[in-house]
Structure 1
Amino acid sequence: MSNDRHEADHHAYANSTFGPPPLADPDAPFRVENSHLMKMELGKSSSSCKLSFVTRLNRRAVLQEFWCASYEEAAVYQNLAAHSDVVNFKEQLTRVDFVGGNGKPTYTKVDAHLLLKDMNEVLFSVKYDTKARRKSYIEEIANIAGQCSRQVADRFNLGSRYAFHPVYRKCAAEIHKARRGWDPESDRIVLEAANDLGGAFSFGALIDRSMLGAKGYRAAVRLIGDGEITKNILDPFCPETHCRSAA
């Protein structure tokens, strides 16, 4: 992606809370930047931070470090980052003020704030599966969501890693691993192979056409993660999976 294209993307999201992630420096593609938090700035999670999660949000983006209060948060962040509709997200960025069930005003810092390709913004509250399914907690989140202004976000979601289908979770893990690498030349060759194949083709045929072997596999996974090649979201990365070029 050229700098002009990147600036155009940022301009498109000028009215959003934040824009696309910064591009990686081709001369230092493995340098890691903070999403927006330093570890000591975690606020509500400062005493319970368990780990950091480092990923690229697309194959050209800088590696970003996200601080997580739990493994569950890290797992959900990985699933969110792998969705081709997600442009960017920030952890514990957004405060939502609301009146609680006791009638008193209070607020919460939401676990993830997503920016989507359609310019909608989504808040995502992460909880372990048993709590995310608990009727009383669902009602609590519904109360907060009902009081959340559309100027803050367009939707408010709740879930654990198990809100995502098992095949999707496996694909998300593969996208994460492939994006951790850096190989723009292989990405270019595989994208050209997809365009040459035209229409529908199998994942295996794409790898064969690229003649790059394992490098081609990883590049194809990155391109699918970015939405430049498409497949059914619940199909695995296997030779017979049907794919299409998004061009």
Structure 2
Amino acid sequence: MPYNRTEENQDQYANATFGPPPIADPDDPFRVVNSHLEKMELGKSSSSCKLSFVTRLNRHAALQEFWCASYEEACVYQNLAGHRDVINFKEQLTRVDFVNKKGKATYTKVDAHVLLKDAKEVLFSVKYDEKSQRTSYIAEIAHIAGQCSRQIADRFNLGSRYAFHPIFRKCAAEIHSARRGWDPEADRIVLEVANDLGRPATFGELVERSSLRGRGQRAAIRLIGDGDIKKDHLDPFAVGTLCEVAA
């Protein structure tokens, strides 16, 4: 289901670690909400921010800043933000305590804590592709995940940007680009076109019937990114891609 801003919807996330992203101010839609992190110096240690990633998590949301320790993290965050089932995520938020294989009590801070539209929560550990596929490291993460309480998260995932299909990664980049803009009127028109058709239509038909050209294309991408209009995850934003209004 698409994310709708209602009191009932907010109640759905009352027991979550955190809720939906902040809503943009229509009078200042390009104001950036800073990261919750307070790492003021860049690149000084492995725990410091090396780059800043700024995006909207849906077309209504404020621009949010996420601090990343690597380019790999920024790519994964972009892919997470572009998934229609992701409502919000926080970077370096959640501590997981565990006992390592030598019997020592220790902890790790997980790279991303993801909130899904069904209110489930997922932890995502980001590593470059070679390490994320290394058997010994998979076993290490499995050992930690096995000690992670369901009160913290429902799942614990591991991967690099390449854990996402190439077409999905390209679509996520296009969603990121389209959401950085702000055009509620175009969004409304394209969604009305999709609803008025009352049937599946191609991406190209939605844009053509909106009579908005480039604005219509960007609006259609935003609506698909938010899940209000659906396409297959592995279909590109192409003229012939079949789309339909979400139930």
TM over 0.5: yes
Does the CA-based 8 Å contact 1:31-1:62 persist in structure 2?
yes
Using a 3 Å threshold, how does the CA distance of structure 1 residues 9 and 40 change in structure 2: closer, same or farther? farther
TM-score by length of 2: 0.95
1:45 offset after TM fit, Å?
Answer: 5.9
What is the distance in 2 between the residues matched to 1:30 and 1:13? 26
Mapped partners of 1:20, 1:129: distance in 2? 30
Q: CA shift at 1:219, angstroms?
A: 0.1
Is residue 20 from structure 1 mapped to residue 20 from structure 2 by the alignment? Answer: yes
1:71 and 2:100 matched: no
Q: Who is 1:155 aligned against?
A: 155
Give the whole-Å Cα distance in 2 for the aligned partners of 1:41 and 1:51.
Answer: 11
Q: In the alignment, which residue of structure 1 is the partner of 2:101?
A: 101
**TM norm structure 1:** 0.95
Instruction: Give the SS at the match of 1:208.
Output: helix
For residues 47 and 79 of structure 1, the distance between their equivalents in structure 2, rounded to whole angstroms, comes to 22
Instruction: Give the CA deviation at 1:159.
Output: 0.1
What corresponds to 1:232 in structure 2?
A: 232
- Between Structure 1 and Structure 2, how many residues are aligned? 243
**Match of 2:88?**
88
Q: Equivalents in 1 of 2:145, 2:199: separation in Å?
A: 41
1:217 maps to what in 2? 217
Distance 2:33 2:12 in 1: 23
Look up the SS of the partner of 1:80 in the other structure: helix
What is the 5 A alignment of 1:1-247? Answer: 5-40=5-40, 48-247=48-247
RMSD in angstroms over aligned alpha carbons?
Answer: 1.7
Give the secondary-structure state (helix, strand or coil) at the position aligned to 2:57.
coil
- 1:197: how far off? 1.3
Q: What amino acid sits opposite 2:121 in the alignment?
A: E
Of structures 1 and 2, the one scoring higher in RCO (CA 8 A, sep 6+) is: 2
Question: In 1, Cα distance between the equivalents of 2:7 and 2:23?
Answer: 10
Contact (CA 8 Å) 2:229, 2:244: kept in 1 or not?
Answer: yes
Q: How far apart, CA to CA, are the structure 1 residues paired with 2:54 and 2:27?
A: 19
- One-letter amino acid of the structure 2 residue matched with residue 202 of structure 1: T
Contact 1:40 1:46 in 2 (8 A): no
Contact 2:120 2:153 in 1 (8 A): yes
